[in-house]
Structure 1
């Protein structure tokens, strides 16, 4: 077995069990790719053709509003999937930029290959159902916290859940993800530091 793909198998097998034969079929459609910092995985106007699992590194997904302001909708690190998910699922042109925040290594699985395997391997289809439902639930939680929590509470919740991201991702990107300016995030961090 290709040992570099073990993290992906571990991720899948947290939720479902695959036979040796099913694992072989899955690994046969996996391709390991590297992306340099600032390189794009998806861009508006192009259909997202791959499920992308991060082995090492970080990406962010964002869109640019009519005034030219960037809005980060996802930050993803090791053991996460990343892409313009709407484009991938609907096979329509992407609306998001998906950009490497660090030099990154990921596993790519083509849409047509995954769709074919999911028809053949029930456990794999179940895995993607479970993880899609979890992603939807998290997205709903994030939307609600954005309108019901203070900026400071949003930052504290995020930093407690993802402490490693606070060290690896730029303050500008974190602020964009949390719906505030970098200057306001800096004030929040200073206030928290002074209270410790």
Structure 2
């Protein structure tokens, strides 16, 4: 984590950032944030893998996003509005997260203009990713979405079960099986 953060944060800012949180270990299947609870923390994935997942009243899961190492994770809209999160953040494998409270993050934002600019860059990157995902779900065929998934997340199909991948792609697992068979993957 520190090595990666050194590539995006000046040393003084890195020290400040590392002073506001702690490392949490989560087992596969544990939740970093639960739907229905008001989120009060953010995280930075050190190792492991997470997903944002909605669960409807019938128990059907919809994978909103996948979070890899060296990425931020939060239910940001719930946190800033102080409303319950609509989704869970689930560890898909044993994981470590650098976790920090929203209050400490806000306090840090006030210490130096760097942090506001840094937050803006993180939000812009997340927004662009979200916009691309929405466009892909609306305009691309399932097979194309799967091929794009394999490019965007190399070897992730070996770490994540196919039901979760199908959920992320917005298709049924049987459809993913047919696509994989057709492509020989």
Q: TM-score, normalised by structure 2?
A: 0.93
SS of residue paired to 1:163: coil
Equivalent residue, structure 1, for 2:168: 177
Look up the match of 2:46.
Answer: 55
Per-residue CA deviation, residues 8-46 of structure 1 (Å, 9 max, x unaligned), is 343x33xxxx352x3322211121110011111111221
Post-superposition offset of 1:5: 3.2
Alignment-derived partner of residue 120 in structure 1: 111
Q: Which moved more, 1:114-123 or 1:99-108?
A: 114-123
Equivalent pair of 2:49/2:93 in contact (CA under 8 Å): yes
Mapping of 1:1-196 within 5 angstroms? 5-10=2-7, 12-13=8-9, 18-20=10-12, 22-193=13-184
> How far apart are residue 114 of structure 1 and its match?
0.8
Please, which runs of 5 or more residues in structure 2 have no aligned partner? none
Aligned residues: 185
- Tell me which stretches of 4 or more aligned residues in structure 1 moved more than 4 Å: none
Contact residue 7 and residue 55 of structure 1 kept, 8 A: no
> Contact conserved, 1:73 with 1:177, CA < 8 A, in 2?
yes
Is 1:8–1:53's contact at 8 Å kept on the other side of the alignment?
A: no
Give the secondary structure class of the aligned counterpart of 1:48: coil
Query: What's the TM-score, normalizing by structure 1?
Result: 0.88
Deviations 1:37-91 (A, max 9, x none): 1111111221211111111101111111233311110111111112222212323
1:135-193 Cα deviation digits (max 9, x unpaired): 11111111111111000001101111111311111111110011001111111011111
Q: Does the Cα contact within 8 Å between 2:5 and 2:14 map onto a contact in 1?
A: no
RMSD: 1.6
